[in-house]
Chain A
Amino acid sequence: DSGVTQTPKHLITATGQRVTLRCSPRSGDLSVYWYQQSLDQGLQFLIQYYNGEERAKGNILERFSAQQFPDLHSELNLSSLELGDSALYFCASSVGTAGANVLTFGAGSRLTVL
Chain B
Amino acid sequence: GENVEQHPSTLSVQEGDSAVIKCTYSDSASNYFPWYKQELGKGPQLIIDIRSNVGEKKDQRIAVTLNKTAKHFSLHITETQPEDSAVYFCAASFRANSKLTFGKGITLSVRP
Chain A interfacial positions (CB closer than 8 Å to B): 2, 4, 31, 33, 35, 40-45, 48, 50, 55-56, 58, 90, 92, 97-100, 102-103, 105-108
Apart from A48-B99, A106-B43, list 20 A-B contacts with CB within 8 A. Answer: A33-B100, A35-B102, A42-B103, A42-B105, A43-B102, A45-B99, A45-B102, A50-B98, A55-B98, A90-B44, A99-B32, A99-B94, A99-B97, A99-B99, A99-B100, A100-B95, A102-B46, A103-B36, A103-B46, A105-B45
Distance, CA A99 to CA B94, complexed state (A): 6
For the complex, give the distance between the alpha carbons of A17 and B49 in Å. 40
A50 to B99, CA, bound (A): 12
Give every chain A residue within 8 A of B89 (Cβ-Cβ). 42-43
Question: Closest Cβ of chain B: how far from A25's Cβ, in Å?
Answer: 13
A40 to B44, CA, bound (A): 17
CA distance A62 to B46 in the complex (A): 30
Q: How far is the CB of B14 from chain A (nearest CB, A)?
A: 27
Is A45's CB under 8 angstroms from B32's CB?
A: no
Q: How large is the interface on B (under 10, 10 to 19, 20 to 34, 35 or more residues)?
A: 20 to 34
**Within the complex, which residue of B32, B45, B94, B104 is in contact with A2, where a contact is CB–CB below 8 Å?**
B45
Distance from B29 Cβ to chain A, minimum over Cβ atoms (Å):
11
At the interface, is chain B mostly helix, strand, loop or mixed? loop
User: Is residue B70 contacting chain A, with contact meaning CB distance below 8 A?
Assistant: no
Q: Within the complex, what minimum Cβ distance (angstroms) separates A95 from chain B?
A: 12
Interface centre among A90, A100, A102 (most CB of B within 10 A): A100
Q: What are 11 inter-chain pairs, A to B, with CB distance below 8 A?
A: A33-B100, A40-B104, A45-B99, A50-B98, A99-B94, A99-B95, A100-B95, A102-B49, A103-B36, A105-B45, A107-B42
